[in-house]
Structure 1
Amino acid sequence: MNNQCNPMQQLRKHFSIYVEASKTTPTRAGKEPKDVWVVSGVLDGLVDFIYQLGARKYKGKFSLYDDPSIAILNHLKENGRKSMSEVKKEQQVRDAEKSQKFTLYAQSNAAKSIERFETAKAAVENIPFGQPILVDHYSASRHRAAINKSNVNMRKSIEHDDKSSYWSRRARTKEIKSTGEYSLNYIANRIKECSSKLRKYKRWSEAAEKLGDHDEVIRCSDLIAIQTDQLSYWKEEMHSQYGDKKDNSSRIVAGKTEILYRGTWYPVKRVNTKTITISNWLRVENATWLVQKEKVEGVRNVGGLNE
């Protein structure tokens, strides 16, 4: 038992990773619960490895049938955590693959929708519009059957069309994620968040050193390394996607550039001493608005290319 607890304690004390013994909760009558291990905590850069161990995710935690403590601990000691850049690149590849798969689902359901619609239309094409069912006539049973067939297929057509729209939205979302492009506000918030966490973990580390808590110093060092890597990644994304905000004012030219203001790009109509006049305000062609230069979030050439 001590051999099992030791790796679990090391993961908890040094890496903020919690491995806990639990049991399944079967809903089928007579089925016995099984022993499982639940993994949670700071899993940055480890998610792919945990999946490779056979884990399944449920409510933000990972569950496995075998104790993963030793495997995770050895992996951390030998390979460490993946960098944010590696994780994002792999995620973008998976998102691109999912986008293609979801697009095929959408196309398949669209084709089925059209097929069902044509079947529904063909079922009643020989019945004049508005023709009532002639009760006690020999054609009444065929008339009812044709209406029922048309109704069933039309409902199925609508159902497949809804599925096609659903998968199209999913495909579009994954396609956007696969590009690795983020809004300026999103990146700025991530930088702010990482900076705040980094300062907090450094304070914790300094306090642990004063108290002589060696385990806490190691744990804080791991947390600091994670946040330093993430902060570096988001700063690089800010620079590559939006450039340096400090020289925005000198790059703004009326009629040739657009500025990013409150998450939206606007054409520059006039450059003033302290403000910039933008057009297309509130998507009204002739409407203009004054923006303070310090509130400009980004600059790009007309046509959508960053300088």
Structure 2
Amino acid sequence: MTIEITHTRREGTLIEGTARGDGTAEILKIREYGRTGRQPFRWSRNLGCWYLPHSRDHATHTPSLELLAQRLRDAGFEVTLSVDNADRRSFGEAEQDREERAQERAERFGGYAGTAARNSETARASGREIADRIPFGQPILVGHHSERRARRDQERIDNAMRKSISEHDRAQYWSDRERAAANYERFRKDPGRTLRRLDKLRADLRAVEKWQRGESAKGYPRNPADPELVTEHQELTEEIEHWEQVIKDAEAKGFKVWSKADFQRGDFVRCRGTWYEVLRVNPKSVTIPHIHNGVGQAVVRAEDNRLDGWTWTVPYDDVSGRKSADEMRQTPTTGAA
């Protein structure tokens, strides 16, 4: 049977046509494939084929797949290779799929945690039941006819307690993973992180547009006729629109997007629970007395800068409040935060 290696952004890198024990597994588990060269292929029972982790929604590194195809051919297999980096799903589709998968993981991990917790309690109860049958403080009577049973009971109690502790730790592990998966969407849509993400995406889009014009960007040029640039431009545009809508939704719920226009020198900015006097207003941040001055303080003014004039910059996406100098004078120090 011919082995088919295919890659699209929509489905990722897949390998079909292998069979158990045919010798392909040893080749596919080499960590030299994909964009980073760090992930080996894995077998998926759901897909019924091999897949390359994290290859979906990304362009592939074609030379790596060509190397893989050649290794399989050298091992006596007939191999075909097909790469179509332009076949993709929209960013909205991909993000919705990621959110649904995170929810599925949360439900699955919750089930694992529940099972482990029940096993832990069952083991604990089993050990306790045996221990309750032994008179308090009763030692093992060496040489007595009860010695063998007593030692067996001791071993069973020890094993039960060990299993109870092990299953309790397992339950905690899966509970932590359940919480992480359940918080995926909230983490992804956190406004502060989203604003930082947008800054990077817009910079990436400007670089792509420069390459398309034949200019150098990020320190190197690219071929303006490369079709990959068209796909990258489409992806970045969609992703920026998606996250801009996330920010608009957050603003509708009361989130404030701070900017240079909101501050002037002498105002106070709230950062991580402390108010700092604004020393300078910058395009993407405000300069304040060094944050080490804020340890144990509700308000830090310019004259409170005890660190030889050291300063700190607070990016606007890390700002959580603003007060004018007059408003701060009218605010009791104890309630400033």
Question: Relative CO higher for 1 or 2, CA cutoff 8 Å, sep ≥ 6?
Answer: 1
State how far apart, in whole Å, the 1-side matches of 2:12 and 2:147 are: 70
CA separation of 1:191/1:54 partners in 2, compared to 1, >3 Å: closer, same or farther?
farther
RMSD: 4.9
State how far apart, in whole Å, the 1-side matches of 2:116 and 2:274 are: 40
Equivalent residue of 1:207, what SS? coil
**Pairing 1:232-243 to 2, within 5 Å after superposition:** 232-241=241-250, 242-243=255-256
- Which digits, 9 at most, give the CA deviation of each residue in 1:33-74, with x for residues without a partner? 3787x98459xxxxxxxx99755444655899975627x57x
Mapped pair 1:104 → 2:111: yes
Q: 2:95 aligns with which of 77, 88, 98?
A: 88
Q: 1:124 aligns with which of 131, 138, 142?
A: 131
State how far apart, in whole Å, the 1-side matches of 2:172 and 2:12 are: 40
Q: Which amino acid aligns with 2:119?
A: K
Equivalent residue of 1:69, what SS? strand
Please state how far the C-alpha of 1:170 moved relative to its aligned partner. Answer: 0.6
**Pairing 1:1-307 to 2, within 5 Å after superposition:** 32-33=23-24, 40=34, 56-58=50-52, 60-61=54-55, 67=80, 69=82, 72=84, 76=86, 80-179=87-186, 181-207=188-214, 215-216=225-226, 218-241=227-250, 242-246=255-259, 261=271, 264=272, 266=273, 287-290=297-300, 297-299=318-320
Q: Which amino acid aligns with 1:233?
A: H
> Any gaps of 5 or more consecutive residues in structure 1?
43-50, 301-307
Identity among equivalent positions (%) equals 18
TM-score scaled by structure 2? 0.57
State how far apart, in whole Å, the 1-side matches of 2:188 and 2:14 are: 37
State how far apart, in whole Å, the 2-side matches of 1:165 and 1:114 are: 13
Q: Report the counterpart of residue 329 of structure 2 in structure 1.
A: none
Equivalent residue of 1:134, what SS? coil
Please state how far the C-alpha of 1:85 moved relative to its aligned partner. Answer: 2.1
CA separation of 1:128/1:113 partners in 2, compared to 1, >3 Å: closer, same or farther?
same
The answer to whether the 8 Å contact 2:212/2:224 transfers is no
State how far apart, in whole Å, the 1-side matches of 2:14 and 2:315 are: 48
Equivalent residue of 1:164, what SS? helix
> Any gaps of 5 or more consecutive residues in structure 2?
37-44, 57-64, 70-77, 216-220, 281-285, 289-293, 302-311, 322-337
State how far apart, in whole Å, the 2-side matches of 1:267 and 1:182 are: 25
The answer to whether the 8 Å contact 1:201/1:223 transfers is yes
CA separation of 1:66/1:99 partners in 2, compared to 1, >3 Å: closer, same or farther?
farther
State how far apart, in whole Å, the 2-side matches of 1:18 and 1:181 are: 22
State how far apart, in whole Å, the 2-side matches of 1:135 and 1:53 are: 61
Please state how far the C-alpha of 1:245 moved relative to its aligned partner. Answer: 2.3
